[in-house]
Each structure stands twice: as C-alpha cells, then as structure tokens.
Chains A and B, each alone.
Chain A
C-alpha cells in the first residue's frame, strides 16, 4: 500500500511492512528528549515505574534551556532534579549551562538526529527535526517517561497534507515568511493530527536552517509533524554535524494526501503574525505604523547563525531605536562563538542591542525580556498567544530576523526596505 514519507518511517520503526492513516501503532524511538520544564514531571512519572535502568543511555537527551541559567530558586531546583537524574542514570546527552543551547538547535548541531529517525520530545517544537527528514513530534512528560523506560511510544498514524514548493524566494524573504504564510493560509488547526510534507524543486533552494525554521512551526498549524524530503544539502548538514547512518525515505508517488498545495516561493512576501495567534498573518505592505517596545532575535525557530547574519547585516552601522530594547540570543554556544568570531556580536552591541547566553528565556515568558502591560514586541519566535512573553495584556508579533532587526531600528514594524 502506498505510503507518505512519515508513514514509511513509522512503519519501519513499528516493524510493519506498511501502515495506514488512523492505525494505532507502538513504534521504537531513536531519541527521547526533555527540557528543564518538562523533564521534572517525566522523572516523577519514571520513578513510579520502579525501573533502575533507562532503555538506552545514549538515546535520551535532556537540555536545560527554558529557565536556565536558573532564573529563580524553583527553576534551580528543577534543573537540579534533572542533573541528579542524568547523573544517576548515566545519561550521556545531558546539556547543562556551559554546553547547552536551545534544544532544537543543539540536537541537529550535535548530529543527534539524522534522516529516517523517530524522535519524541517533551516539547512541542520537537517537530523541528523533520527538516532533516526525520519523524519527530512533541509529546508530554508521561510519554517521555515511558519512552525513557521502554524506548517506545504509541502513535496514531497520521494522514498528510503535501506542500509542493516551486521557484525561489525573493531577496529579503525567508523560510520564516513561508511558514507564517502557510499557517495564515490553513489556520492554527489546519493540519491538526496530520503530517505536513514539504516537497518539490523549491525545497532545494531553501537552506537547512530555513527548513529547520519551517518544520519548527508545523505545530503552530496543529500538525503532528512537518517533514522535508531529503536532498544533498540535508546529507551534507548531517555529515558536518557528525550524524551517523541517515536513512532516506521518500513518499510513494501514489501516496494519498488529504490536500495538496502548490506554493510558488517567488510570490511569498515578508509576513508578520499579529497577536494572539500565529494564523493572524499580514504581509508587510499591509501593516500600518505599529510602535514597538522590544525586539527578540533568537529561539529554536530563528536563533541559528544564518539568522544572526541576516540581523547583523541590517544592524551594521545603525543604531536601534532608543525606545526598543533589542535582545539577541544565539541559540547554542557554538553559534555564539561563531557569531563572535565573525564580528556579529560587536555589530549587535554597537547598535545598542544586548547579546544573551543561549536560553529559551523570553520566548515563553520565562525570563530575559518579559513584557509589561500594554507593551509590544516583534520576535523571531514561534508563538504569540495571550501572555506568551509576559503580561496577559502585552503583545507579540512574529516575524523573520530581517523584519525584527529593521523594526528594532525604526521602532515600529518595518521591512528592511524602509531603512535609508
């Protein structure tokens, strides 16, 4: 029976010749992920099982990124609980302050996810690794606990929506604009329970960094996973990261899709999602003057080196608006170091921005840039729900690093084209 790319990966991991949409399966997982917010609940549940050894010490990753470096005593206690557990269980891939980065940036960087893997993570943006041709999906802490114990997870095999990408993006338009456009088009539950499969010649024109950004936000359309067909760029990225044994799956030509969308990348404009849902998208040319108080450039969506390069090109030789607190957060230590060596950090600081150690921080309203009542931020992050970055009456506008950097300069939501 014809299968989608996701269905093929799931079938292989469930030891089945084929699977079909709606089928419930128990699949082997290649990696189980948690962070400092979700792992403590998972550890509490794991301890109820009375199982000394985890299923595989090298196939669990725990990353202290949400409230780390510890923002308060309670956060410190949660990180300590994770640290003690990883010590006790001899978990190899424990990333603490000093080695940590935002989880979905650091795992691909370390080569811990390769094409064809099944990855579950107690973090909704685990879907990021679909960019590498893996099936990866967000689950809860109890799933994480059971994954750590058994190396398995239950799934309902998803149907899929196919996005056939054609053409090439115009200058100043990025993967972030494409995924915001798609979420605006299909809505925040437009892909509920489904896979979003990205295919077509246009895929090859997108960098792996842009694909990671797009797969990252599949969850914002309700999807179970977002997945890109594998090409030379993918395999080169994995090789450079030290990833081992990628397995390339391709969808059957006659696989069934619930819907097929053709997207001409050359028609995509710079796009911004207004509060309080990622589907509230507007293209930059439709936006009137919206004054802002803060800009955040970072996160698992857009905190990679390529994103910092884009922002630095715009901020070079310019100053951020005095009213705009501009916070740049390289997503990992490696990105931080590379940005330093390239002189990007100097550009940011000269422009009047600050550069933070890697953390999820303000993206989820944790720390390092919380908004007061009535304040507005432009952020390269992934969610703009009520209260997401602070006060329930604050606002988050989602955009690309280019639009975020330009907005920091003008003090209102702006395209880089508006800068003199």
Chain B
C-alpha cells in the first residue's frame, strides 16, 4: 500500500475521549462520528482535513477507551494513514481489525511537521518526507497481522476462512 498526503500533527497521549467524545457515542453512524472527530482537542480538524491526509502523533496514540468509534471516525474523516511514536494497544488492534493503516516510527514523527507532504510505502516500510527530503525505514507488521490487513480486516479474514 502506498500513500501520498499532507500531515496533520498532534502530540503525545491523544486519548480516545478527544478523538471522539463519549457524548457522541449514542450513534454508530460513521459519517456522524467523523463529523465530531478530534473535536475536544482541535475544533478545526473536521473543516480542514482532506481525503488522503496523514495523521501524525506522539507516544501512546489512542490511549483510554476501547471505543472502535475512534479509529472509525478517523478513517471516515478521510485520514488515510496514522503514523505515531507508539499506539495504545486497543486502538492498535482496532485499527488493524477495521483496516485503518497505522505505522509506528518514533524517529520519523520527530522530523515531521504540520503541513509536510509525505509519501509512504507500507510494503517496503519507507516513509519519505517530500517537504524536507528525509527518509525513514519502519518495521513491517508480522505476517499474521499482514494477512489480516491483506484480507481487508478481521471480519473478512474470518469469512475467507483464515481464522477458524
């Protein structure tokens, strides 16, 4: 998978309560969830995010609640990929399970600024910052997780008989 997009950057410990506040969890409608994405941290996000943008964040991205509504809201808002220094574990597995691409790469995050243009090749594990000309290597996912992603998420993996 390859991605080209503009960066929207946040700091450490972005929790699921600011990604999608609980007051909006009375719906499972993806578009409605996306319309409140990041609202308690950044009220400008929804109006400025564009299809294909890349979210970049610090350590422990998505800490807190297990709400899958958080990665759903991010994905539906148009974000194509999230790069963070580290991910909280439930958001990490939720993202894989719903097919929101994520990459852990602390070095790259430090060298990326808001508004930078990135091109990312997930298969080769390369993040290129087109704005600064720097390039970073990332660790590929283990084969088991790659197969979930390749099948289009956990539900599709089960349907394909990959998990019995």
Once the chains bind, are B18 and A387 in contact (CB under 8 Å)? yes
Q: Which of A37, A189, A277 contacts B67 (CB 8 A)?
A: A37
Answer whether residue A48 sits at the interface, using C-beta atoms and an 8 A cutoff.
yes
Of chain A, the residue at the smallest CB distance from B158 is A146
Q: In chain B between 7 and 23, which residues have their CB closer than 8 angstroms to a CB of chain A?
A: 13, 15, 17-18, 21-23
Closest CB-CB distance, A370 to chain B, in whole Å?
8
Contact of A49 with B159 in the complex, beta carbons under 8 Å: yes
User: Are the CB atoms of B65 and A364 closer together than 8 Å?
Assistant: yes
Q: Which residues in A have their C-beta under 8 angstroms from that of B17?
A: 364-365, 383, 385-388
Tell me whether B66 and A75 are in contact (CB under 8 A): no
Given contacts A383-B64, A387-B40, contact A74 B26 (CB under 8 A): yes
- Given the known interface contacts A38-B67, A49-B159, A142-B97, the answer about A124 and B25 at a Cβ–Cβ threshold of 8 Å is no
Q: Is A193 in the interface zone, CB < 8 Å from B?
A: yes
Does B28 interact with chain A (Cβ within 8 Å)? Answer: yes
Given A124-B66, A141-B68, A392-B40, residue A192 in contact with residue B18 (CB < 8 A):
no
- Nearest residue in A to B24 (C-beta to C-beta)? A74
Let me know if A66 and B25 touch, CB within 8 A. yes
- The contact string, 1 if C-beta is below 8 Å from chain A, for chain B 151-164, is 00111001100011
How many positions in chain A have a CB within 8 Å of any CB in the partner chain? 52
Report A-chain residues with C-beta under 8 Å of the C-beta of B22.
37, 66, 364-366, 388
Cβ-neighbour of B21 out of A74, A124, A188, A365 (below 8 A): A365
Pick the contact of B90: A48, A75, A139 (CB < 8 A). A139
Q: Is the Cβ of B26 less than 8 Å from the Cβ of A75?
A: yes
User: Is A78 part of the contact surface with B, judged by Cβ < 8 Å?
Assistant: yes
B60 near A45 with CB under 8 A, answer: no
Is there a chain B Cβ closer than 8 Å to A323's Cβ? Answer: no
- Give Cα distance in the complex from A48 to B26, angstroms: 21
Contact with A along B71-107 (1 / 0, CB 8 A): 1100000000000001011100110011000000000
Return the chain A residue nearest B159 by Cβ.
A49
**Which residues from 121 to 163 on chain A have a C-beta closer than 8 Å to any C-beta of chain B?**
121-124, 126, 138-143, 145-146, 149-150, 152, 154
How far, in angstroms, from A388 to B144 measured CA to CA in the complex?
Answer: 35
Give a binary string over B123-164; 1 marks a CB under 8 Å from any A CB, 0 the rest.
000000000000000000010110010000111001100011
Q: How far, in Å, is A195 (CB) from chain B's closest CB?
A: 11
Inter-chain contact B89/A192, CB cutoff 8 Å: yes
With A140-B93, A386-B18, A387-B18 known as contacts, the answer to whether A189 contacts B26 (CB < 8 A) is no
Q: Does B49 contact A (CB under 8 A)?
A: no
A322 at the B interface (CB under 8 A)? no
User: Are the CB atoms of B155 and A40 closer together than 8 Å?
Assistant: no
Name the residue on B nearest A279 (C-beta). B13
Counting chain A CB atoms within 10 Å of each CB, the highest count among B17, B21, B27, B145 belongs to B17
Closest CB in chain A relative to B29 CB, distance in Å: 9
Q: List 5 additional A-B contacts (Cβ < 8 Å) besides A146-B154, A189-B86.
A: A41-B68, A78-B26, A124-B90, A364-B65, A388-B17
What are 24 A-B residue pairs whose CB atoms fall within 8 Å in the complex? A24-B144, A37-B25, A37-B67, A41-B28, A48-B159, A67-B26, A74-B27, A78-B27, A140-B97, A142-B68, A150-B164, A154-B144, A154-B148, A188-B60, A192-B86, A193-B89, A219-B90, A222-B89, A366-B22, A386-B18, A387-B17, A387-B18, A387-B40, A392-B21
